[in-house]
Amino acid sequence: DSGVTQTPKHLITATGQRVTLRCSPRSGDLSVYWYQQSLDQGLQFLIQYYNGEERAKGNILERFSAQQFPDLHSELNLSSLELGDSALYFCASTSTGGNYGYTFGSGTRLTVV
Amino acid sequence: DQQVKQNSPSLSVQEGRISILNCDYTNSMFDYFLWYKKYPAEGPTFLISISSIKDKNEDGRFTVFLNKSAKHLSLHIVPSQPGDSAVYFCAASAGSSNFGNEKLTFGTGTRLTIIP
């Protein structure tokens, strides 16, 4: 158990639908990052939150949004889903100011049918 | 634009031999590099890192080498063990002084298979 919890582990939904992925960071970590891993692709950075505020944005589609709540958990909302959104979505967290890297959750596998 | 490239999708190595995984990058602003290891159905886990002020970092069986002029790094695993079979991701960051708040750029991964 890495300490980063992602739910659900698997999600199957239809095109056009909306889903919410949830991430609870490791205790004490203020930064949360969301990454997408499509088939045969690397981990693509989507968005970062730090202590409730958006800190950095990557190649995140306008149909996707995220937020980090006062208790530091984060949610990634994916709407108007398309087949190409099928992927593994990872959340990672870090503490502030210097670290050996992220701690990743085990991911949510999203399948859009 | 793939700023971090792992050109070998897969690699097979005999148990006990050396495994060498390679990674190239294009962004000169990258100054901190990491390797992650990923087993199926799990998230990536941190393995080893290196700052751009160094050219080598060792941790047990794992050594990372950095060649800044060539924008190339490699991960050496010796001796290779069956438990090392996994996907290995190279990652890079710009702004290591503020590392806790910097995004990582990942390569596409190399699947390492250790043959018993």
For B58, left (φ over 0), alpha (ψ -120 to 50), or beta? beta
**Which residues, including other chains, have CB under 8 Å from residue B52's CB and lie 6 or more apart?**
B30, B31, B32, B33, B66, B68, B96
Closest residue in A to B5 (Cα) is A42
Chain A interface, mutation test: which of B4, B7, B103, most A Cβ atoms within 10 Å?
A: B103
pLDDT tens-digit map of A34-73: 999 987 678 999 999 989 999 888 889 999 999 999 999 9
| pLDDT in the model for residue B101 | 57
In the numeric block, the tokens 């996907």 are attached to B87
- Interval B65-79 mean pLDDT: 97
| Stretch 77-96 of chain B: residues touching chain A, C-beta under 8 Å | 89, 91
Hey, how many other C-beta atoms are within 10 angstroms of the C-beta on A19? 18
Let me know how many helices (H) and strands (E) chain A has, helices first. 0, 11
Look at strands A10-13 and A64-68 and give their pairing: unpaired
Q: How far away is chain A from the Cα of B54, in angstroms, using its nearest Cα?
A: 15
pLDDT at B18 over 90: yes
| pLDDT in the model for residue B98 | 55
pLDDT at B99 over 60: no
pLDDT at B66 over 70: yes
| pLDDT in the model for residue A98 | 47
